[in-house]
Amino acid sequence: MRDVAGMSLLVTGGGSGLGEGIARHFVERGARVTISGRRPEKVAAVAAALGPDCAAVAADVTDADGRARMIEAAVAHGGGLDALINNAGNMYRGAITEVEESKLHDVFASNVIGPMLLTGLAVPHLARRGGAVIFFGSVHTRRSYPGASPYAATRAATEGLTRVLAAELGPQKIRVNCIVPGAVPTEINVRAGLFADAEASAKRLESMIPQHPLGRIGTPEEIAEGVDYLARAEWVTGASLVVDGGLGLGLTQA
């Protein structure tokens, strides 16, 4: 396993939720972390809380200039790039009869197309260090939630492209893997307008506890531990690592 200390990581969407937890996990272990997000105040607050090993860049992953600024900032802050954590993402749900075309394009832009293009930009830097790319899947590809096809389709796409890019970039010694998180309370569903506030969103997730063989929902730190493994394991590529307390098993009481 590669050492975390001294690693340079770019964590997109690091201003909240899982991205914030991932940034904290790596900074606490001696890495140099650059976080990005569209809201400057969110990424600045996380970077201020984590200290000088964390740098913030306000940038949108769906925008070419924003992507270039993310890579430039991470390479400058970390003296190169060891891992790109494609964590930024959005939720969009809607019955198939009511899906709005522009919203469908938006969710694919932030969850799939932006991360793919950002990965392309990162390749020359990652190749110099034998680095890693981590995409985000979701329990939505393991369990079927009616009305969630837009989001589930983006997460199936990232899992699928992980395997192709692992094959494509292996000769450059770049590893490409996918983390597949289960239910963790973050602001994603509130930002999508599905719940009025964080409390209502957390309650909904807690109602899913009986579907977890391990009897509870997860934490950002537990997702960060999976990301840590994928960023450091030097003979693992093209893998999907499910970190979901067993939610994706589809627990059924006979």
Ligand X SMILES: NC(=O)c1ccc[n+]([C@@H]2O[C@H](COP(=O)([O-])OP(=O)(O)OC[C@H]3O[C@@H](n4cnc5c(N)ncnc54)[C@H](OP(=O)(O)O)[C@@H]3O)[C@@H](O)[C@H]2O)c1
**Catalytic residue positions?**
151
Interacting residues with ligand X (CB under 6 A): 12-13, 15-19, 36-39, 42, 60-62, 87-90, 110, 136, 138-139, 181, 183-184, 186-188, 191
What's at 1, amino acid-wise? M
Q: How many helices (H) and strands (E) does the chain have?
A: 9, 7
Distance CA 252, CA 41 (A): 43
Rg (CA), the chain: 17
CB of 16 to ligand X, least distance (A): 4
CB of 179 to ligand X, least distance (A): 8
CB of 238 to ligand X, least distance (A): 19
Between 187 and 225, name the residue whose CB sits nearer to ligand X.
Answer: 187
Distance CA 168, CA 119 (A): 12
**DSSP letters along 148-192, please?**
-HHHHHHHHHHHHHHHHHHHHHGGGT-EEEEEEE-----SHHHHT
CB of 146 to ligand X, least distance (A): 18
Between 34 and 138, name the residue whose CB sits nearer to ligand X.
Answer: 138
Nearest to 183 by CA among 225, 162, 211: 211
Between 11 and 123, name the residue whose CB sits nearer to ligand X.
Answer: 11
The sign of the torsion formed by the CA atoms of 72, 77, 82, 85 equals: negative
Between 15 and 226, name the residue whose CB sits nearer to ligand X.
Answer: 15
Distance CA 37, CA 28 (A): 21
